[in-house]
Structures are given as C-alpha cells and as structure tokens.
C-alpha cells in the first residue's frame, strides 16, 4: 500500500497599514497609564524584545501577522487589520 503524498501550498500576503506604528504606541501608552504595564511587559507577552517593539512603533520593521495578534492581545485591543479577500 502506497502512502499518499502531499504538496504544501503557501500564500503570502502583504498589507500596508498607515499609521499602525503610531496606533500601537498610543495603545501602549494607554495601557501603561491604566494598568501600569511597561513596554518590557508587553514585549515579553508578545514574544519579542522591547527593542523590536520600538522598531515596530517607529515603522522600521516588518510585522508578521502572528506578532500583531500577540501585540493586540497584550494591549487588549484590536487594530482592525484583516487579510480577508
């Protein structure tokens, strides 16, 4: 009996989101004021360093969707970024 072989198909999409870095920074400042969470706390919860977080806020780094979702969870908000067709 022959084992079925499969081929993986990968779809990569890029989406430009104006002012996303600015909106992330605003949400970070809001949660800092409301709950005392530091950038180190938020970055750690998102699986990255504070340095990477700053690069994203300053729009100097590509942001994978998975990381965006972790950031949204840490910030307790949604930035409304959708890849729906």
- Alpha-carbon distance of 41 to 52, in angstroms, equals 13
Q: Could you read off the pLDDT of 35-53 as tens digits, one per residue?
A: 999 999 999 999 999 999 9
Cα-based angle 55, 61, 64 (whole degrees, multiple of 5) = 115
The answer to whether 12 and 3 have CB atoms below 8 angstroms apart is no
What pLDDT was estimated at residue 1? 65
pTM comes to 0.84
Tell me the pLDDT of the chain averaged across its residues: 93
């Amino acid at each position: 009996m022959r084992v079925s072989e499969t081929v993986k198909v990968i779809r990569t999409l890029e989406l430009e989101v104006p002012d996303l870095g600015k909106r992330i920074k605003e949400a970070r400042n809001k949660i800092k004021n409301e709950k005392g969470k530091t950038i180190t706390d938020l970055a750690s919860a998102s699986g990255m360093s504070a340095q990477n977080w700053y690069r994203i806020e300053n729009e100097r780094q590509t942001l994978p969707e998975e990381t965006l979702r972790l950031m949204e969870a840490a910030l307790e908000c949604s930035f409304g970024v959708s890849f729906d067709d």
